[in-house]
Amino acid sequence: MIIVMQPDAGDAAIAAVEAKIRSYGLDVHISRGSERTLIGAVGDERKLDPAMFDPMPGVEMSMHVVKPYKLVAREWHKANTVVNAGGVPIGGPTVQVIAGPCSVETPAQMEAAAAGVAAAGARLMRGGAFKPRTSPYAFQGKGVDGLRLLKDAAAGQRLPVVTELMDVRMLDRFIEHGVDVIQIGTRNMQNFDLLKAVGQVTTPVILKRGMSATVSEWLMAAEYIAAGGNHNIIFCERGIRTFETAYRNVLDVTAIPVLKKETHLPVIVDPSHAGGKAWMVPALSLAAVAAGADGLLIEIHPSPKDAWCDADQALTPAEFKALMGQIKAVAAAVGRDT
């Protein structure tokens, strides 16, 4: 931690900062410049916080030098972590594609979707049983029945399943129903009690980025899960909120190389929610793979225009199959397979 003193800070102010640092067991290093004095705290600075120093007399600002995350940081774990998602490795040389409908609707819809996923060569299936909807009057998902329908349809194609957990009270039911990968949605990225709860199980977790979360906050949210003991974490970029109104979100491809540098954990991308329109999905999928994503999470539906939610962003099985061919080509161009 570095504390920058105001130009007119006197010796008493400097001594007070020094004493505070030492009271936490760290050493102090003082550098007196022509305009400012800098005070460095030497030791485990995670014990300190800028808010401890900023209100002290004579302090202009203070900042961490070391990153606040540890378990998820590549600095302390150089090799890529490969997460075992129901038998499918995520984070290795293969770009993995997870596909399926926005919401679980009917057995027929789920069977057709599962067939489309498998036929295109994707290896995991998604489907929402509990849906976070902006309006309380919109369809809220099939609930536990949806978990069963999802699991049954996927089993028919030997696909592990991914589905979103919103309510901490449902975690046991997710485990009972054999959910292979738990998704934490964008609105719950900082629902800390939920993060702590999934930190207590061993099921892999896809942690979607909050719609205006910084990369640092996102890594810290993952640190919550890891601190509980569950290191099977997969980051999922799904677009961020900006001033632009021509599309729902802005897919932040820059986050992909930045995360791959900062963490050893896998990073996947959801191109469907990012753009919000089916016709944007191919371009965004290919951009994500070219930028280094370890996987994709794509919405498909046997008949998109009849979907019960997000109808305008789902691909048909045929469109998805065509896209899988393009994904394979771009993946090969960057040295990966699918």
Which residues 277-336 are close enough to bind its own copies by CB under 8 A? Answer: 277-280, 283-284, 286-292, 304-305, 309-314, 326, 329-330, 332-334
CB of 152 to its own copies, least distance (A): 25
Nearer to its own copies, 84 or 212 (CB): 212
Is residue 270 a contact residue for its own copies (CB under 8 A)?
no
By beta-carbon proximity to its own copies, the closer residue of 150 and 165 is 165
105 contacts its own copies (rule: CB under 8 A): no
Would you say 189 and 225 are in contact if contact means Cβ atoms under 8 Å apart? no
Tokens 């290191």, located at residue: 231
CA distance 205 to 182: 5
Q: How many CB atoms lie within 10 A of CB 137?
A: 7
Could you identify the residue written with the tokens 């738990």?
182
Interatomic CA distance for residues 308 and 299, integer angstroms: 13
Stretch that binds its own copies, among 93-101, 109-117, 127-135, 148-156 (CB under 8 A): 127-135
**Of 88-96, 106-114, 126-134, 200-208, which segment contacts its own copies by CB under 8 A?**
126-134
Please, which residues have CB within 8 angstroms of residue 200's CB and are 6 or more apart in sequence?
A: 228, 229, 230
Task: Output 141 or 160, the one with its CB closest to its own copies.
Answer: 141
21-50 binders of its own copies (CB under 8 A): 29, 31-36, 38, 40, 42-44, 46, 49-50
The DSSP call for residue 128 is B
Q: Which stretch binds its own copies (CB under 8 A): 1-9, 86-94, 143-151, 230-238?
A: 1-9
> Site size for its own copies, by CB under 8 A?
105
Encode 263-300: b = buried (16+ Cβ within 10 Å), e = exposed.
bbbbbbbbbbbbbeebebbbebbbbbbebbbbbbbbbb
d(CA 217, CA 231): 17
Q: Which is nearer to its own copies, 180 or 310 (CB)?
A: 310
Looking at 86-94, 112-120, 121-129, 137-145, which segment touches its own copies (CB under 8 A)? 137-145
Quick count: other Cβ atoms within 10 Å of Cβ 52? 17
Cα–Cα distance, 95 to 330 (Å, whole number)? 10
Gap between the Cα atoms of 205 and 171, Å rounded: 12
Among the listed ranges 144-152, 173-181, 216-224, 229-237, the one in contact with its own copies (CB under 8 A) is 216-224
337 sits near its own copies (criterion: CB under 8 A): no
**Closest to 160 in 3D by CA, of 82, 272, 238, 84:** 84
Question: Could you tell me the two tokens for 216?
Answer: 């640092």
Token pair of 270, please? 């959801």
Among 174, 224, 235, 320, binds its own copies (CB under 8 A): 224
Sign of CA pseudo-dihedral 173, 174, 175, 179? positive
> Coil, strand, or helix at residue 18?
helix
Q: Which one of residues 82, 215, 321, 322 is an interface residue with its own copies (CB under 8 A)?
A: 215
Segment 60 to 89, residues that bind its own copies, using CB under 8 A: 65-66, 68, 75
Site for its own copies, residues 146 to 205, rule: CB under 8 A: 166-169, 187-188, 190-193, 196
Query: Which of 11, 12, 23, 245 is in the footprint of its own copies by CB under 8 A?
Result: 245
For residue 100, the minimal CB distance to its own copies (Å) is 17
Question: Among 84, 106, 200, 254, which residue sits at the site for its own copies (rule: CB under 8 A)?
Answer: 254
Parallel, antiparallel or unpaired: strands 27-32 and 37-42: antiparallel
